[in-house]
Amino acid sequence: MKTKLVFFLKYYLFWIGLSVVAKIIFLLYQWKDSQTLTAGDVWHIIFGGLHLDLSLGGYIMMVSGIFLALSSFLGQKTVRILFSILTILCLTFFSVVTIGNLELFKNWGFHVDTTPLMYLKTPKEMFASTPIWLVISLFLFTAAFGFSAWYVFKHWILSGLRYKGRQYWCIPLFLLIGGAMLIPVRGGFNVAPMNSSFVFFHPQNMYANQAAINPVWNFVYELTHMDDGKKKYDFMSQKEAERIIKQTKQQEEGAARLLKTERPNIVFLLLESFTASAIEVLGGLPDVTPNLNALAKEGILFSNIYATGNRSDRGMVAAISALPSNPSMALIDYPNRLMKYPRFPKDLESEGYTTQYYYAGDINFGNFRSYVTMSFQNMIYEDHFSGEAIENRFKWGVHDQYMFERLYEDIEKAPQPFMYMAFNMSSHEPFTVPGKVKFPGNDQESMFANAIHYSDSCIGNFILKCKESKIWDNTLFILMADHGTRTINHLDPNQPAAYHIPLLLTGGVLNVQDSVVRKIGSQTDMIATVLNQLGMDHSGYKYSRDLLAPSTMPFAFYSYPNAAALISEQGISIMNLQSNQFIQGDTLEENKTLLKAYLQSITSELGRN
């Protein structure tokens, strides 16, 4: 009896200790972020984070309680085998999630959730951002971590499980102890069950709060809450939420007409990861985007635009349908529902435009094919390239220079008016681009700056050809990023700087140049702004506002897994969606009300038939 109780305690401490070791490894791997921590912060991360460690271990111990209760009927060898199987399964899962999370967090800024599961259908693209040496290193690290933990379990934990005879009174005892594990699993006797906000402690440093989260617990939580994407937030009546959102679109009159003609050709460039941090005219690094900087002088630069999400699938839907990012799911995965919303290219098609989409990679990635098919008359993707373009392609597909060459060749002979949209890829991880190295170094920031610089040079060459051939004269060029990134300056993924992106209108069809609009806006606002210039109705895009109208309300909504935020002239408000508590900007009542209305409306959209 005593040996079983000691084993139970040691086995629980084994899983708690493993979680603590995983935290230490995490802090070391994220050393750049960890340098911002004080000794007190590290103490809170390790010991304050025990809430989630105890919860995760509690799940395993509930099963362990059942096994030890069954030991009254089973021999010592059989019970040891059961615990060995349980430990192998749990250790495999724990090791894969823990070590895989190290690199995912480094790039995303939040712990692994169910997002990687979306890419299992396209494994080539899933690993395209990661060098093979890193994949192998992480695999070996995972194996080493798992085998080391197994060694500790086998020699110091399992070896102590010795007993003889049938002790039937152990049955109620271990069932009771196993059942009592529900207390640490749910976080005590509180009304609110365990969630990640239990370990949040720092009012400013969000990395410190993230570091306290147990990534395995978090992933299990995400798996068991996958249906939360269909969840509706009920902060107010739906009628009130719609009234608040509608109010943001009122009083949009008075925008000056900036086009020489109402039906210009349109070239829309969706720029992969073009964060404001890399663009000098937006306060970013110097000399990374000289061509975009020059283009800003030839058109209208919107200097305070924020992406609605942090992934390309979110940026695509924002750019084409003006729908904000749902924090729990990608709307692009629901083509039947997206069909019910207006789409920018289809509106132009109804006005006589020829539409075409360019993506020089796998068009099946991220459900792009279905969305592009329903939005454009034609598409050009990786299979349409050959020769040198294919010979020199990289993991994601064909490099930008070849895509822009094809785009130029096609618009030269395109029936007018046309709307051609191109989504570049060379500025995507792993940042391996051809040509001379502008920024030496193998660190992520230098490699990213080189990739952006290369893509910018391709854009510059494309624009130059358009000017020389007179295509420039009657064309509106729209340049906007799909999302920002935290790569430069290792930005906090919660804060607006990680979502700050360029939006630029340029081209010979504009009757103004070198203008800057400093109003706060979202990438979803591009559609209403452009459609109004074309004299077209944009009332169907309820989340899109004309940024050129003097009285348009300045704000931007963005979201990422388990959180949503709103930035306005008053400041920034961020809500943790596991606890529904504001972790920043709690005193900004107007922000909070608008954020809640947006969040409620966005999430309820998926529940409509």
Fold that domain 266-550 belongs to in CATH: Alkaline Phosphatase, subunit A (3.40.720)
| Cα–Cα distance measured from residue 502 to residue 281, given in angstroms and rounded to the nearest whole number | 9
Distance CA 37, CA 42 (A): 7
Contact present, 606 and 329 (Cβ < 8 Å): yes
Per-residue confidence band for 369, with pLDDT thresholds at 50, 70 and 90: confident
Mean pLDDT of 278-294: 96
Q: Alpha-carbon distance 444 to 442, whole Å?
A: 7
CA distances from 516 to 60, 420, 472, 480, 519 (A): 58, 25, 21, 15, 9
Q: What are phi and psi of 96, to 5 degrees?
A: -60, -45
pLDDT tens by residue, 96-144:
999 999 988 887 777 887 777 666 666 666 666 678 888 899 999 999 9
Assign 238 to helix, strand or coil: helix
Rounded to 10°, the helix 76-108/215-224 angle is 90
Q: Where in the chain is the domain with CATH 3.40.720.10?
A: 266-550
Mean pLDDT of the chain: 89
Predicted pLDDT at 84: 95
Give the three-class secondary structure for 187.
Answer: coil
Q: What is the pLDDT of residue 123?
A: 63
Average pLDDT for residues 284-292, to the nearest whole number?
A: 96
Sign of the CA dihedral running 109, 113, 115, 120: positive
DSSP letter at 564 equals: E
Q: What pLDDT, on the 0 to 100 scale, is given for residue 287?
A: 95
pLDDT of residue 198: 77
439-466 tens-digit pLDDT: 988 888 999 999 999 999 999 999 999 9
- Integer-rounded Cα Rg, in Å, for the chain is 27
CB 44 within 8 A of CB 212: yes
Task: Supply 157's token pair.
Answer: 């934990």
CB 109 within 8 A of CB 486: yes
Q: Which of 59-63, 251-255, 339-343, 554-558 is predicted with the least confidence, judged by mean pLDDT? A: 251-255
Is 548 exposed, middle or buried, given 0-12, 13-18 or 19+ CB atoms closer than 10 A? buried
DSSP of 36-96: T--HHHHHIIIIITHHHHHHHHHHHHHHHHHHHHHTTTS-HHHHHHHHHHHHHHHHHHHHH
Region 2-7: mean pLDDT is 87
| Per-residue confidence (pLDDT) for residue 572, from 0 to 100 | 95
Residue 193 has pLDDT above 90, yes or no: no
| Residue 608 predicted with pLDDT over 60 | no
Maximum average pLDDT range among 152-161, 440-449, 468-477, 488-497: 468-477
Residues 337-352 have pLDDT tens digits of 787 899 999 999 999 9
Residues 315 and 297: their CA atoms lie apart, in Å, by 25
Dist. CA 518–CA 554, nearest whole Å: 9
Confidence of residue 609 (pLDDT cuts 50, 70, 90): very low
- Among residues of the chain, what percentage have pLDDT more than 70? 93
**Is 591's pLDDT higher than 90?**
yes
pTM above 0.85, yes or no: no
Calpha distance 536→546 (Å, rounded) = 12
Which residue is listed with tokens 């976080």? 187
* Number of alpha carbons in the 13 Å side-chain half-sphere of residue 116: 19
| Calpha distance 315→337 (Å, rounded) | 17
Question: What's the pLDDT score for residue 353?
Answer: 97
Would you call 326 helix, strand, or coil by DSSP?
coil
